[in-house]
Amino acid sequence: MMTDNIKRVLISEEEISAKVCELADKINTEFADKNPIVISILKGAFIFMSDLTKKIKIPMTIDFMAVSSYGSGVKSTGEVNIIKDINQDISGKHIIIVEDILDSGHTLNCVINILKKRNPASIVLYTLLDKPERRVVDIKADYACFTVPDEFVVGYGLDYGEYYRNLPYIGVLKPEVYGGR
């Protein structure tokens, strides 16, 4: 069973759902006349993106980027490659970046720097999870749904070796599954 490798449930489905609603309300208020482009980073943010955008009531569009920094392991290398770029001009537009987890910060720092060069009107970073103890790059989320301890977490889009993304909650992976860290 997939769940045999989960040490404990860190954030339940209900807790996630309540926070996602709160964040959607914030977007509904703050971006009411801004027609934002909501950009999510594949693949980890796909469930968060889906649940969040279903609760957004204002006009908005979506786009996706895919970047690689991890392979199938647990450590960030600092190198970020764009595997899939967005395919539209974002100059003068309001950008909401939706991410699964802010860990070392390498990925988001890189993505934000790339997008800033394209002259958007504004960029905010909304992340489901923030793991501040692991930060290497000086970057802060404009909103984090949950702050998590320095443990490897999976579920609700987050993977280990591409597995566990389909768990409906955020769980802590047993360290023996990935050989500790």
In angstroms, how far is CA 11 from the centroid of its own chain? 15
Stretch that binds ligand IMP, among 5-13, 55-63, 116-124, 151-159 (CB under 6 A): 151-159
Query: Beta strands of 69-164 (E only): which ranges?
Result: 81-84, 94-102, 122-130, 143-147, 153-154
The least CB distance from residue 157 to Mg ion, in Å, is 9
Could you tell me the two tokens for 70? 């991890």
The least CB distance from residue 91 to ligand IMP, in Å, is 26
Residue 105 binds which entry of Mg ion, ligand IMP, none, with Cβ cut-offs from 5 to 8 Å by kind? Answer: ligand IMP
Q: Which residues of 61-88 are buried (b: 16+ CB within 10 A; e: fewer)?
A: ebebbebebbeeeeebeeebeeeeebee
The least CB distance from residue 29 to ligand IMP, in Å, is 27
Cβ proximity to Mg ion: between 24 and 41 the closer is 41
36, 105, 120, 171: residue in contact with ligand IMP (rule CB under 6 A): 105
Round to whole Å and give the CA distance between 128 and 144. Answer: 6
Question: Residues 34-73 vs ligand IMP: string with x where CB under 6 A?
Answer: ----------x------------------------xx---
3-state secondary structure of 111: helix
Please tell me whether residue 10 binds ligand IMP under the rule CB under 6 A: no
Cβ proximity to Mg ion: between 63 and 159 the closer is 159
Mention every residue, 6+ apart, whose C-beta is less than 8 A from residue 47.
156, 157, 165
Show the DSSP H helices in the chain as ranges. Answer: 13-30, 46-54, 106-116, 175-178
Active site positions, annotated: 103
Residue 103 binds which entry of Mg ion, ligand IMP, none, with Cβ cut-offs from 5 to 8 Å by kind? Answer: ligand IMP
Q: Which residues bind Mg ion (CB under 5 A)?
A: 159
